[in-house]
Structure 1
Amino acid sequence: MWWFYRKGPSGFSGASTAEEVTAGVDGQALVAVITGASSGIGVETARVLALRGVHVVMPVRNVAAGLAVRESIVAKVPGARIDVLEMDLSSMASVRRFASEFESLNLPLNILM
């Protein structure tokens, strides 16, 4: 497994963390919509993007879980800009409601995950 730690042309390896990869990135002017941000890798993605100044919008099925994640991130990243909006990807009506709510925020969409 030595190859996992071997750095490639980018200077990163399979063992590099999201914080290492995004070091020096200024995301103040960016807005990211991150589906799946209420659990797993989505939480870490939201945390690191918020750490870099990105305004994070979390569309979640379970709003209570999303708000708990938001509070956890804000505790670690004071000043983080995070919005939690309800959306269930299995329901087109819910997706349309989310899209309408997102549009009403008057934010650009720079990153969609």
Structure 2
Amino acid sequence: MNTQTASSDLRERVIDALRSVFDPEIPVNIYDLGLVYQLDVDAETGHVTIHMTLTAPGCPVAQTFPGTVEECVNDVEGVSAAHVELVWDPPWTRERMSEAALLQLGML
């Protein structure tokens, strides 16, 4: 398997894992909710870096949620280390949500 294919496969497995993590206040996964702003996957080293936000800066899980996401991604086969960084710029808006998330919440 070439490096690009391996990277693409690992990236898809990481995205699948992110889709299994749900926002604590909205019944939609964090990926389709648009909370993941940047996803860097290095298939050679297995390192994954995620820049994500929360729906509101005052979210009660702001201290613990990055660790929850890291644990989930670390469980993906091929991942050796995951790092999640919370970012607040740009602020999250519903425009970041996928069409599937909008449909799920009856917003389309």
Check whether TM > 0.5.
Answer: no
Which structure's relative contact order is higher, taking Cα pairs within 8 Å and 6+ residues apart?
A: 2
Instruction: Determine which structure has the larger helix proportion and give its number.
Output: 1
- Larger Cα Rg: Structure 1 or Structure 2? 1
Task: Give the alignment's TM-score, normalised by structure 1.
Answer: 0.32
TM-score scaled by length of structure 2: 0.32
